[in-house]
Amino acid sequence: MEEKEISQKEIKWLEEQQQNSWNPEIIISGLSLAFILAFPNSIYSFVVFMIQEWGMDFLAAMLVLAYLLILVNLFKVFLITHLALRFAWASLLGISYAFPKGIEQDKLFEHQRLDNYLSPQQMVLKLERICSMAFGIPLNMALIFIPLSIYLALLAGLQIFFGLEFFVLYLIFMVSILGFAVLGLVAKKMKIKLNGNSYLYSISALYTSNLGKWRYNIIILSLFFFTIPLMISDARDFFQYFNATNLSDNFLEWQWEDWCYDDQRDRADRFSRILFPAYEVNNNELNIYVAHYEEDSKLVQKLNNKFKITLDTLNWGTPKENKDLYKIYVNDSLVTTTCEWQKVMMPHSHQKAYKTCIGLDSLGKGVHELRVEKLIVLMPFMFRESEPRLRKNWAKARFYKKYDMPL
């Protein structure tokens, strides 16, 4: 709507809303921040769910996680900054009420008597404009990220439902980016003007024209870089869910005490590799839970169809089921499970897992180490072909046998 079409009544209403905008700003920022603070854990759990239950490629899942965490932390930074500015604004508002006359020069020390002091009213009005400006930035960001998020969700859906390799998704993404770049160059060369009658272009033009062509972009980029440490913290130990890798040397050296012991962890969380009921074992049998990964079924098919000779080289029999991808060692000695592998659903997280057990009759009292080897297939990427690999440290954990003889 053009300015000449706005009636005097609407202008008066708009001015009243602008003067009282601080109230809904604080309420919206506070409620939004409380909602967003719980988001990182939910995002982490959902991406892990897609890897384990839907068979999403880990690299694709990692990019999805990074994108969503940066997005959430970006809005978190915006909202915290806005609330901090409104806190300062409320403080200045109180100061302007307490000292309506402003600074009294004759009551200052000689060296403090300056001519360019701001009045309390000037400071309140200046900070009011900054607060209102800062509150509008998340809207501009949302208008940019909503279509991008929809596009990335479509790519993720293609990978999950059609089982596309990550390299194919990468090609689709790069071709689409190249296509948009070419369209932009063609439009620029043909002097085709974009339609400015939209919220996205209008709001972006407002910020860039009033803050400066480069200042606004520098502010946004700076905030992006500021969110990276927050994103890294929220994605801590996400590589545990990379099904095709060993546990890292650093993780094996400095293991979390609760990472694989059911009695020490939050049971609503998904476990990444193996799980014991507890660190201490009170009898001569140890129950073991192995995390289910949907992509393992595809691995069994590929190993049977293409890599029988390689399996002989690795001294590994032909796998018929998912359980045949694993070998369990205790103190580096291969052990045979004493009960069948069962498909179970974990009670609190609803995670699919395999349950089995091993006998501990031959082990004495003390600390022992259990290690799981896993046969995996590296997916093709660019010039690398798919090939089987043996992960000797796919999982490793200690347990303590309390008694030499069964109770």
In percent, the amount of the chain with pLDDT more than 90 equals 25
Would you tell me how many other CB atoms lie within 10 Å of the CB of residue 164?
Answer: 16
pLDDT at position 407 is 46
Q: What is the pTM of this model?
A: 0.81
pLDDT at position 3 is 47
Render pLDDT for 169-185 as a digit per residue (tens, 0 to 9): 778 888 887 887 777 67
| Average pLDDT over all residues of the chain | 84
Domain boundaries, the chain: 3-236, 247-401
pLDDT at position 188 is 67
* DSSP per-residue string spanning 216-262: HHHHHHHHHHHHHHHHHHHTTTGGGG-TTSPPPHHHHHS--TTSSBG
* DSSP per-residue string spanning 149-196: HHHHHHHHHHHHHH---HHHHHHHHHHHHHHHHHHHHHHHHTTPPP--
Q: How many CA atoms lie within 13 A of 103 on its CB side?
A: 14
The token pair at 82 is 């806005």
pLDDT at position 78 is 87
Residue 121 has pLDDT above 90, yes or no: no
pLDDT at position 194 is 59
Q: What is the mean pLDDT of residues 86-104?
A: 85
Could you give the CA distance from residue 262 to residue 351 in angstroms, rounded to a whole number? Answer: 13
pLDDT-based confidence at residue 404 (cuts at 50, 70, 90): low
The token pair at 384 is 């690398």
In percent, the amount of the chain with pLDDT more than 70 equals 92
Residue 86 has pLDDT above 70, yes or no: yes
Render pLDDT for 30-48 as a digit per residue (tens, 0 to 9): 888 888 887 778 899 999 9
Higher-confidence residue of 49 and 59: namely 49
Highest mean pLDDT among 110-119, 198-207, 222-231: 222-231
103, containing H or E segment: none
Residue 267 has pLDDT above 60, yes or no: yes
DSSP 292: -
Highest mean pLDDT among 208-212, 215-219, 340-344: 340-344
pLDDT at position 405 is 57
Would you tell me how many other CB atoms lie within 10 Å of the CB of residue 125?
Answer: 14
Residue 325 has pLDDT above 90, yes or no: yes
Q: What is the mean pLDDT of residues 148-152?
A: 86
**274-275, strands of its sheet edge to edge:** 274-275, 285-291, 352-359, 342-345
The token pair at 234 is 């929220």
Render pLDDT for 293-318 as a digit per residue (tens, 0 to 9): 998 988 888 887 777 666 777 778 88
pLDDT at position 2 is 46
pLDDT at position 374 is 94
The shares of helix, strand and coil residues in the chain, as percent rounded to the nearest 5, are 55, 15, 30
